[in-house]
């Protein structure tokens, strides 16, 4: 087994475009769940809105990608308002069920064959990133030769992506040290106490839902830039749960938690994936074929994600950076 | 998982259904051409006859995207229409044309199988001809046809609802007693389907008096083993968590981890393809009046209803049932009155998982199963439970029947691919108007 190669590949992924989109999705969830205690299980829905907006703006409306990005973020605001109005007054698990249902509604509708002439059905939309690609300043592969390199386009996506991540982190940091952020955290801790101080809890929750949703929309935009395509399968329910895992690894209610979490998560996922795929490859594989074939090997990483998420939540819910005392996660 | 897949470029999959129909009967022969034009062609046949009879003298028109008529043909005695597109193949590339059938020229007594499909849009993506199919059969227009269709869907909906109700009842009981919104409930459903399948695949048959009852035993085994699985779930995972005082939201996230873990583990063992049980894979339906009902649908419905009645009577009349409802209402108070809360919860887990497993086995029986059968159903189960009122017993059943019938009956008006979407929209609307659900108590929702 070639470990330099495996580490190199995993590192490439850990800093690559997919880690960025998971990171952005988790930053949005951090505002929802980490700071405000809102259990949004529909982050995939916000991502889908962002991702399809830039695709459709070019292919359907023959407009610019950049305009599509702005429209997409505005649509995320609308989606957050639509979701928040019926559910933010209810208990946390209701929000969870409604958001997960809403994300599926959007995904199944946009992927429906009835709209395939507009949104391409299950195939999704392609051929829309010309306007983005045209500004690529890089021409050759970048990185550390011999260990990890990225294609010029990936590196361009990464430059944009990590800049966005940095911006979002600064925004979250500034917001959460403001009086507004302190109200959010106290809503998470004791909603009734905040209400008794005369704060409009519903309004604050709504604002948090909108801001986190917009960052989720950014994650969706990064998704479609990464793949140069969007399709309904990119925004399945599981992506939301991956983002939760990312958040919990890094530590909820910490500004840099999602960043570190995304890198570690995506590094480990790829590491496990490559290790098992190499262990089952070849004429005389390390793991005999009757135990595991290469198809089964590709499932191992997701089995580990599930197991990891459970163990993390049970034994270290505060993640790497979090503070257990600050974050007594509980339903209300 | 799916999102990792890199999207293949949208391959234009214009399969030509006419050609497959032609190969079946062998009479639909098009004239061979050797020029640089493309045609829109097709072959009208009446599927009520066997072999399908060609339909002659029907007018078919082709219009371009601007609405201009570019060609027209009347079907020959072999049912074929063949309309050349003006210009050569290259100029037609990428253009869309609408093919319209003139319903009034169809022979007396026949109509389009799908009355809404008088127009078909074709698009040339290669330099080969495009085939169009218009299935012809009994005219379905008129209110009686719609009524028959509605009744048929209603019957299918009842069967589906009964199965959904079992799964929903399990989820609602577990929620009621422990406060856990179990996102891994879908995997309990799948578990039952897999156990039944595994038992069914074992070599040998079980029969009584020459009657092969392997599948019946398999479903019973699935029911029992699922109960054990539920007990394991509770004993290994959830009870220790309750002892630690883990919050409800933390447990919910743990259940998501469990769901991911179990779903991929199932796929590890069963693969991604869907499978059918050995028996009842295809059964000729009975005709009851205008309706078609398969025997297995009736069996599934009767079994599901019997189990539902049994479970609700147990909850209503037995000591342990009353204890369960007491725990659901107020765990602390019922503990103070001498009810062993942990024992009750343990029994609820066994019962809830057994119900879910039975639902999975029966669902697998009716429609075949894959490793995601429960996961795909999970949101509908949630919708049913929330609609009826989280934690209420009758609510789960009522909610399941509303959601089950709604998903089937909406296909009367919207394409079948939207039936889940409709059910989930109902869920959101109900939450907006009546957050505690139809039968829930108002104080349950904070």
CB-CB under 8 Å, A126 with B435:
no
* A314–B254 CB contact, under 8 Å: yes
B247–A330: do the CB atoms touch at under 8 Å?
A: yes
Residue B446 confidence (pLDDT): 37
User: Using the beta-carbon criterion (under 8 Å), do B257 and A248 form an inter-chain contact?
Assistant: no
- Give the CATH number for residue A195: 1.10.3470
pLDDT in tens, B399-414: 999 999 999 998 888 8
Q: From the CA of B113, how many Å to the nearest CA of chain A?
A: 19
Read off the pLDDT of each residue in B42-48 and give the average, rounded to a whole number.
74
Count helices and strands (H / E) in chain A. Answer: 14, 4
Between B185 and B248, where is the model more confident?
B185
Other CB atoms within 10 A of residue B107 CB: 13
Q: Tell whether A331 is within 8 A of chain B (Cβ).
A: yes
Tokens describing residue B104: 């009034």
pLDDT band at B174 (very low <50, low <70, confident <90, very high): very high
Tell me the shortest Cα–Cα distance from B248 to chain A, in angstroms. Answer: 5
Pairwise CA distance, residues B46 & B52, whole Å = 5
Mean pLDDT of B268-293: 75
What gap in Å lies between CA B142 and CA B115, rounded to an integer?
A: 10
* C-alpha–C-alpha distance, residues B438 and B337, integer Å: 30
C-alpha to C-alpha distance for A330 and A190, rounded to whole angstroms: 10
Q: Residue B236: CA atoms inside 13 Å, Cβ hemisphere, count? A: 10
A2 located within any domain: no
- The pLDDT value recorded for residue B50 is 59
Asked if A91 and B250 come within 8 Å (Cβ–Cβ), the reply is no
Q: Quick one: pLDDT at residue B8?
A: 37
Judgement on whether residues B222 and B149 belong to the same structural domain of the protein: yes
Task: For chain B, say whether A190 makes contact (Cβ under 8 Å).
Answer: no
Option in A97, A126, A308 nearest B386 (CB): A97
Is B440 inside any structural domain? yes
Under 8 Å between Cβ of B183 and B209: no
Neighbours of B15 (CB within 10 A): 8
Which one has a higher pLDDT value, B442 or B255? B255
Identify the domain boundary among B137, B163, B198: B137
Q: Residue B312 has what pLDDT?
A: 93
Mean pLDDT, residues B9-24 taken together: 39
Band the pLDDT of B5: cuts 50, 70, 90.
Answer: very low
* Rounded Cα distance, B344 and B354, in Å: 15
Give CA–CA dist B269/B413, Å, rounded.
Answer: 39
Which residues are CB-neighbours of B75 under 8 A, at least 6 positions away?
A: B44, B54, B55, B56, B57, B58, B60, B81
**pLDDT value at B419 more than 60:** yes
Residue B374: per-residue pLDDT: 92
- What's the CA gap between A279 and A300, in Å, rounded? 12
Domain assignment present for B28: no
Is the domain of B225 the same as that of B172?
A: yes
Q: For residue B162, what are the CA distances in angstroms to A15, B31, B169? A: 49, 54, 11
Does the beta-carbon distance from B268 to A299 stay under 8 Å? yes
**Strand, coil or helix: A94:** helix
- Touching check for B236 and chain A: CB below 8 Å? no
| CB-closest option in A93, A296, A307 to B257 | A307
Per the document, the length of chain B is 446
**Ramachandran sector of residue B210 (left: φ over 0; alpha: ψ -120 to 50; beta: rest):** left
- Whether residue B203 is predicted with pLDDT greater than 90 in this model: the reply is no
Q: Are residues B121 and B264 in the same domain?
A: no
- Contact with chain A for residue B314, Cβ under 8 A: no
Instruction: Give the residue-averaged pLDDT of B21-27.
Output: 43
Q: Which distant-in-sequence residues (6+ apart) come within 8 Å of B3 by Cβ?
A: A233, A234, A235, A236, A238, A239
Residue B390 covered by a domain: yes
Q: Across chain B, which distance is largest between two alpha carbons, in Å?
A: 91
Q: Verify that B394 and B427 share a domain, yes or no.
A: yes
The boundaries of the domain holding residue A307 are: 9-132+152-315
Is there a single domain that holds both residue B313 and residue B184?
Answer: yes
B262 touches chain A (CB under 8 A): yes
Residues of B in contact with A314 (CB under 8 A): 241, 246, 250, 254
Contact B170, B396 (CB under 8 A): no
Does the beta-carbon distance from A109 to B257 stay under 8 Å? Answer: no
Q: Do B390 and A93 touch (CB under 8 A)?
A: yes
Rounded to an integer, what is the distance from CA B165 to the centroid of its chain? 15
> Which residues of A are less than 8 Å from B249 in CB distance?
37, 39, 92-93, 329-331
Question: Residue A174 and residue A160: Cα distance in Å, rounded?
Answer: 21
pLDDT of B51: 63
Q: Which of A79, A82, A310, A311 to mutate to test the interface with B (most CBs of B within 10 A)?
A: A310
Residue at token pair 């982050």: A43
Closest alpha carbon within chain A to B389:
A94
Of A113, A241, A313, the CB nearest to B260: A241
Is there a domain that residue A137 lies in?
no
On whether any CB of chain A is under 8 Å from the CB of B179, the answer is yes
Alpha-carbon dihedral angle through residues B24, B27, B31, B36, given to the nearest 10 degrees: -20
Taking only the tens place, the pLDDT of each residue in A84-98 is 887 887 777 788 888
Predicted local confidence at residue A327, as pLDDT: 63
Q: What does the alpha-carbon distance between residue B165 and residue B158 come to, in Å, rounded to a whole number? A: 10
A144 inside domain: no
The answer to the question of residue B30 being in a domain is no
The more confidently predicted of residues B175 and B274 is: B175
Flag whether residue A273 sits within 8 Å of chain B, measured between CB atoms.
no
Please write the tens of the pLDDT for every residue from A97-106. 889 999 999 9
A323 in a domain, yes or no? Answer: no
Per the domain annotation, does A218 fall within a domain?
Answer: yes
Angle at B125 between CA B122 and CA B131, to 5 degrees: 40
Q: Which pLDDT does position B116 carry in this prediction?
A: 64
CB contact under 8 A, A105 and B424: yes
Both tokens of A205, joined, read 């929750």
Q: Do A86 and B432 touch (CB under 8 A)?
A: yes
φ, ψ for residue B97, nearest 5 deg: -130, 150
Q: What's the rounded Cα separation, in Å, for the pair A289 and B253?
A: 34
> Within an 8 Å CB–CB cutoff, is residue A328 touching chain B?
yes
Closest CA to A276 of A251, A255, A259, A293: A293
Residue ending a domain, choose from B137, B170, B196? B137
According to the model, what pLDDT value does residue A329 have? 52
- Strand B207-208 relative to strand B211-212, pairing: antiparallel
Provide the total of helices (H) and of strands (E) in chain B, helices listed first.
14, 15
Partners of A188 on chain B (C-beta within 8 Å) are none
User: Between β-strands B39-43 and B130-132, what pairing exists: parallel, antiparallel or unpaired?
Assistant: parallel
Residues of A in contact with B179 (CB under 8 A): 331
Question: B126: domain CATH number?
Answer: 2.60.40.10
Distance in angstroms (rounded) separating the CA atoms of residues A192 and A312: 29
Residues B91 and B227 in one domain: no
Q: Per-residue pLDDT averaged across B205-234, rounded?
A: 87
Q: Which of B137, B170, B199 corresponds to the end of one domain? A: B137
Q: Cβ A233–B247 below 8 Å, yes or no?
A: no
Pinpoint the alpha helices (H) of A60-91.
65-87
Instruction: Decide if B49 is inside a domain.
Output: yes
Flag whether residue A109 sits within 8 Å of chain B, measured between CB atoms.
yes
Closest CA to B366 of B196, B210, B227, B205: B196
Contact across the interface for B415 and A113, Cβ inside 8 Å: yes
Does B297 map to a domain? yes
Residue A190, judged by CB atoms within 10 A of its CB (0-12, 13-18, 19+), counts as: exposed
Instruction: Check CB contact under 8 Å for B421 and A328.
Output: no
- CA of B247 vs chain A CAs: smallest distance (Å): 5
Per-residue pLDDT tens over the stretch B348-396: 999 999 999 999 999 988 888 889 899 989 999 999 998 888 878 888 9
Cα distance from B298 to chain A (closest Cα, Å)? 31
Write out pLDDT tens, residues A207-250: 999 999 999 999 999 999 999 999 999 999 999 999 999 999 99
pLDDT band at residue B273, thresholds of 50, 70 and 90? confident
Number of domains observed in the structure of chain B: 2
pLDDT tens digit string along B108-146? 767 776 666 677 777 776 777 777 777 776 655 555 677
Write down how long chain A is. Answer: 332
Q: Which residues does residue A239 pair with via DSSP β-bridges, in sequence order?
A: none
User: Is position B4 within any domain?
Assistant: no
Q: What local confidence, expressed as pLDDT, does residue B10 receive?
A: 36
Whichever domain contains B415, its CATH number is: 1.10.3470
Among A86, A96, A113, the residue with its CB nearest the CB of B428 is: A86
Looking at every residue in chain A, the average pLDDT score rounds to 90
Contact yes or no for A122/A232 (Cβ under 8 A): yes
A100 and chain B: CB distance < 8 Å anywhere? yes
Residue A332: pLDDT band by 50, 70, 90 thresholds?
very low
pLDDT at B276: 78
**Contact (CB<8Å) A105/B386:** no
Pairwise CB contact (< 8 Å): A235 & B420 = no
Tell whether B107 and B168 lie within a shared domain: no
Query: Would you say B153 and B412 are in contact if contact means Cβ atoms under 8 Å apart?
Result: yes
Query: Can you say how many angstroms the Cα of residue B70 is from the centroid of all Cα atoms in its chain?
Result: 42
ipTM of the predicted structure?
0.91
B81 & B176 share domain: no
Token pair listed for A153: 């386009």
Give the residue numbers spanning the domain of B77: 37-137
**Per-residue pLDDT, B442:** 62
Q: Give the one of A97, A302, A310 whose C-beta lies nearest to B254's C-beta.
A: A310
Instruction: Name the strand (E) or helix (H) holding B43.
Output: strand B39-43
Same domain membership, residue B152 and residue B132: no
**Interval A139-193: pLDDT, tens:** 888 888 878 889 999 999 999 999 999 999 999 999 999 999 999 999 988 888 9
Cβ of residue B241 closer than 8 Å to a chain A Cβ: yes
Instruction: Tell me the pLDDT band of A129, cut-offs 50, 70 and 90.
Output: confident
Interchain contact A329–B (C-beta under 8 A): yes
Q: Are residues B133 and B257 in the same domain?
A: no
CB atoms within 10 A of CB B58: 21
Q: Is A19 left (phi over 0), alpha (psi -120 to 50) or beta?
A: alpha
- Is A86 in CB contact (< 8 Å) with chain B? yes
Are the C-beta atoms of residues B133 and B18 closer than 8 Å to each other? Answer: yes
Q: Is the pLDDT assigned to residue B29 strictly greater than 70?
A: no
The verdict on B125 and B165 lying in the same domain is no
Angle at A81 between CA A76 and CA A83, to 5 degrees: 95
Q: Is residue B14 part of a domain?
A: no
Contact A306 B259 (CB under 8 A): yes
Q: Which residue has the tokens 């799916």?
A: B2
Residue A295 contacts B where some CB pair is shorter than 8 Å: yes
Using the beta-carbon criterion (under 8 Å), do A299 and B427 form an inter-chain contact?
Answer: no
What is the residue whose two structure tokens read 């779903």?
Answer: B263
pLDDT(A133) > 70: yes
Asked if B446 is an interface residue toward chain A (Cβ–Cβ < 8 A), one would say yes
Does B249 contact A at CB distance below 8 Å?
Answer: yes
Burial of residue A325, with CB atoms counted within 10 A of its CB: 0-12 exposed, 13-18 middle, 19 or more buried: exposed
pLDDT-wise least confident of A13-22, A320-329, B300-309: A320-329
- Does B91 or B243 have the greater pLDDT score? B243
pLDDT in tens, A300-310: 999 999 999 99
Residue A303, φ and ψ in degrees, nearest 5? -60, -40
Shared domain check, B185 and B49: no
The pLDDT, as a whole number, for residue B47 is 65
């Amino acid at each position: 087994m070639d470990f330099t190669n495996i580490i190199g590949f995993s590192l490439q992924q850990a800093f690559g475009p997919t880690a960025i989109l998971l990171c952005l999705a988790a930053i949005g969830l951090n505002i929802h769940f980490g700071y405000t205690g809102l259990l949004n299980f529909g982050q995939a829905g916000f991502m889908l809105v962002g991702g399809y907006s830039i695709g459709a703006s070019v292919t359907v409306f023959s407009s610019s990608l950049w305009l599509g990005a702005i429209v997409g973020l505005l649509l995320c605001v609308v989606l957050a308002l639509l979701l928040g109005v019926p559910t933010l007054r209810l208990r946390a698990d209701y929000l969870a069920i409604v958001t997960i249902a809403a994300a599926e509604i959007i995904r199944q509708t946009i992927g429906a064959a009835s709209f395939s002439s507009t949104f391409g059905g299950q195939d999704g939309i392609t051929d829309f990133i010309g306007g983005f690609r045209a500004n690529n300043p890089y021409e050759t592969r970048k990185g550390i030769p011999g260990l990890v390199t990225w294609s010029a386009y990936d590196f361009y996506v990464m430059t944009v992506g990590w800049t966005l991540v940095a911006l979002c982190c600064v925004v979250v940091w500034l917001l959460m040290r403001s009086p507004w952020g302190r109200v959010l955290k106290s809503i998470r801790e004791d909603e009734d106490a905040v209400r008794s101080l005369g704060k409009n809890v519903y309004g604050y929750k709504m604002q948090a839902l909108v801001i986190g949703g917009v960052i989720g929309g950014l994650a969706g935009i990064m998704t479609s830039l990464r793949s140069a395509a969007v399709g309904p399968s990119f925004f399945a329910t599981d992506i939301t749960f991956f983002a939760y895992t990312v958040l919990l690894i890094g530590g909820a209610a910490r500004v840099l938690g999602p960043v570190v979490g995304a890198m570690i998560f995506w590094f480990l996922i790829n590491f496990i994936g490559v290790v098992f795929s190499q262990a089952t490859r070849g004429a005389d594989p390390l793991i005999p074929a009757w135990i595991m074939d290469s198809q089964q090997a590709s499932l191992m990483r997701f089995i580990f994600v599930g197991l990891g998420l459970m163990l993390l939540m049970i034994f270290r819910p505060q993640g790497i950076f979090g503070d257990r005392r600050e974050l007594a996660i509980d339903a209300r | 998982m799916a999102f990792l897949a890199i999207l293949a470029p949208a391959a234009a999959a214009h399969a030509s259904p006419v050609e497959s129909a032609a190969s079946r009967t062998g009479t639909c022969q098009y004239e061979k051409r050797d020029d640089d034009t493309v045609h829109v062609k097709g072959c009208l046949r009446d599927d009520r006859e066997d072999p399908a009879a060609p339909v002659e003298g029907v007018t078919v028109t082709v219009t371009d995207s601007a609405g201009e008529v570019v060609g027209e043909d009347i079907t020959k005695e072999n049912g074929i229409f063949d309309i050349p597109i003006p210009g050569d193949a290259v100029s037609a590339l990428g253009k869309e044309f609408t093919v319209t059938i003139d319903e009034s020229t169809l022979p007396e007594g026949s109509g389009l199988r799908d009355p809404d499909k008088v127009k078909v849009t074709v698009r040339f993506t290669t330099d080969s001809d495009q085939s169009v199919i218009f299935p012809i059969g009994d005219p379905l227009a008129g209110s009686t046809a719609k009524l028959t269709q509605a009744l048929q869907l209603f019957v299918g909906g009842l069967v589906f609802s009964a199965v959904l109700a079992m799964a929903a009842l399990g989820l609602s009981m577990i929620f009621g007693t422990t406060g856990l919104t179990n996102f891994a409930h879908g995997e309990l459903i799948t578990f039952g389907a897999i156990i039944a399948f595994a038992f069914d695949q074992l070599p040998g048959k079980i029969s009584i008096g020459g009657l092969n009852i392997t599948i019946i035993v398999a479903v019973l085994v699935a029911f029992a083993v699922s109960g054990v699985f539920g007990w394991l779930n509770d004993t290994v995972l959830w009870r220790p968590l309750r002892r630690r005082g883990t919050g409800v939201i933390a447990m919910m996230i743990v259940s998501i981890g469990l769901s991911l873990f179990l779903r991929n583990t199932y796929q590890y063992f069963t693969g991604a393809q869907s499978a059918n049980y050995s028996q009842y894979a295809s059964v000729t339906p009975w005709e009851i009046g205008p309706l078609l009902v398969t025997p297995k649908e009736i069996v599934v419905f009767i079994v599901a209803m019997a189990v539902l009645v049994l479970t609700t009577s147990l909850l209503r009349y037995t000591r342990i049932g009353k204890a369960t409802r007491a725990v659901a209402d107020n765990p602390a108070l019922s503990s103070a009155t001498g009810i062993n809360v942990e024992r009750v919860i343990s029994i609820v887990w066994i019962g809830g998982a057994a119900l879910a497993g039975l639902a999975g086995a029966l669902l697998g029986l009716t429609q075949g199963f894959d490793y995601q059968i429960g996961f795909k159903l999970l949101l509908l189960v949630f919708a049913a439970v929330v609609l009826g009122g989280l934690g209420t017993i009758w609510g789960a059943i009522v909610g399941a029947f509303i959601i089950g019938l709604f998903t089937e009956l909406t296909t009367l008006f919207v394409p079948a691919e939207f039936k889940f979407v409709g059910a989930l929209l109902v869920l959101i609307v109900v939450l907006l108007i009546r957050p505690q659900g139809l039968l829930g108590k108002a104080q349950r929702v904070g």
